[in-house]
Structure 1
Amino acid sequence: MFMRNERSIKEFMKLYPVVSTLVIIHLALWVIIDLLQLSIGQEIYVFGVGYNLLVSLGEYWRLVTPIFLHGDLMHALFNSFALVLFGPALEQMLGKGKFIFAYLGAGIIGNIGTFFLEPLDYTHLGASGAVYGLFGIYIFMVLFRKNLIDQNSSQMIMTIFIIGVLMSFVGSSINIVAHLAGFAGGFILAPIVLQNVRVYNPWQAYRRSYPDNHGEIQFDPNRWNKKRIIPKKLKDNWLWILIGVLALIGLFSRFI
């Protein structure tokens, strides 16, 4: 359920457009705000960062915009990788509309929790609350909709969730409230968004995205040989290569 078997980044983006768009937004905003340090980037940051005092003064959009902003490259990458790992199955099961509703809804609930439980001078940003909302939906499945999730995936999600919660209390700069409130938000929204959904089927996304196959999965006998060709592999995986390079830049920048 969580193992990615897409043959290329292009294929992944076609199969899971919402998850792909969110990841692109994360990285694009990091490039504009932090890497290039453009003036418009600073304006976006000032306009969108979560700041409880300004929310109390009526700037309620700050309950939404922090979901798309991150403190640094590693922050953006960690949330993006979590989204790539756990988002596709839910996007396919829920559909684009309900997935966006669940993701943003959990993130907003996480930010509302931050507003009420943290002091007025508290600032925050990041998609962690929304990502933990996805965990909330999965945990609801594990407890109440076991027919929607296999045992191996249940064990994996429980283990990662427990580790994630424990790690939330380790870092001093982590917004623990957003994590827990976002998880609660996903759990609360789960009964709504999981109505009339079917078990995750990786081939269902292929049938929707490749209608010319008339619902049939076409097997290319030369698929594995093609993947051994280095230029083709580099072409198909350019985004992962770019993410790896950006990750190295982010790591080294911490020591400069």
Structure 2
Amino acid sequence: MFIRNERSIKEFMRLYPIVSWIVMINTAIFLLIQVLPFNTIMLWGLGYNGLIAQGEYWRILTPIFMHASVGHFVFNTFSLIIFGPALERILNKFKFTIIYLLTGIIGNIGTFVFEGPTYSHLGASGAIYGLLGVYFFMRFLRKDLIDPGSAQIVIIILIIGAAYTVISPTINLLAHLFGFVGGALLAPLFLPKERRRYL
């Protein structure tokens, strides 16, 4: 399920257009952040709790497409390319788009509610963990949609991700947690109702 067999970037984009578009948007915004003066995009789109409280509600959405460093960008992009395609196939393009955005927003709302007014954040991690939340639901309650090998990978990745989230001081723990829980709770509403023998 997580092994990529596409023979070219063009084929990957044809099979998984939403994942491809998200990667391209994230890449374009990351590059713009590096070249624009005074971090113009960062100042406008950063998830800053104090400004959200003052009515700049777009900051609950925009951080999903922004990354602070090369490592941050590469890790989230790699995770999306690994875990996104299978869900785009299972859910369809529309549902995948909605659940990706919703779980990212849920992670940012959790951050807004439980962190202080001076807290700022950015990154796609809430949405990425939302996808993992969907896989977690599949692992235990929709085993017809996920093969045993992939189910084992999901558990291993979650254990590694949980450990990294806890020990790293720069990680937005609440975005990861709320994104993951949001994905697990939304999964039964978005996954296909018919039983099937996984992809």
Alignment partner of 1:104 is 2:101? yes
SS of alignment partner, residue 169 of structure 1:
helix
How many Å separate the matches in 1 of 2:44 and 2:182?
Answer: 25
- TM-score, normalised on structure 1? 0.75
- Per the normalisation by structure 2, the TM-score is 0.96
After TM superposition, the structure 1 stretch with the greater mean CA deviation from structure 2, 118-127 or 143-152, is 143-152
The match for 2:61 is: 64
Q: Letter of the aligned partner of 1:178 in structure 2?
A: A
CA distance in 2, matches of 1:199, 1:160: 23
Per-residue Cα deviation, 1:174-201 (whole angstroms, up to 9, x for no partner)? 1011001100110111011113365554
Cα shift at 1:74: 1.3
1:120-147 CA-to-partner distances (Å, cap 9, x unmatched) read: 1000000000000000000000111111
Partner Cα separation in structure 2 for residue 63 and residue 99 of structure 1: 19
Structure 2 residues without counterparts, runs of 5 or longer: none
* Greater Rg over alpha carbons, structure: 1
Q: RMSD of the TM alignment (CA)?
A: 1.3
Quote the residue 1:26 is aligned against.
26
CA displacement at 1:43 relative to structure 2: 2.5
Give 5+ residue unaligned stretches, structure 1: 202-256
Task: Tell me if structure 2 keeps the 8 A contact 1:51–1:121.
Answer: yes
Q: Is the 8 A contact 1:92 1:200 kept in 2?
A: no
User: 2-side partners of 1:72 and 1:167: how far apart?
Assistant: 17
Task: Give 2:79's match in structure 1, choosing from 79, 82, 96.
Answer: 82
Q: Is contact 1:128-1:179 (8 Å) kept?
A: yes
Q: Work out the CA distance in 2 between the residues paired with 1:139 and 1:48.
A: 30
Alignment length, in residue pairs?
Answer: 198
Number of the residue aligned with 2:50: 53
Matched letter for residue 161 of structure 2: G
| Change over 3 Å in CA distance of 1:119–1:85 after alignment to 2 | same
Structure 1 stretch displaced more, 104-113 or 142-151? 142-151
Q: Is 1:159 equivalent to 2:156 in the alignment?
A: yes
Paired residues for 1:144-223 under 5 Å: 144-196=141-193, 201=199
Find out whether 1:4 has 2:4 as its counterpart.
yes
1:145-184 Cα deviation digits (max 9, x unpaired):
1111111111011111111011111211110110011001
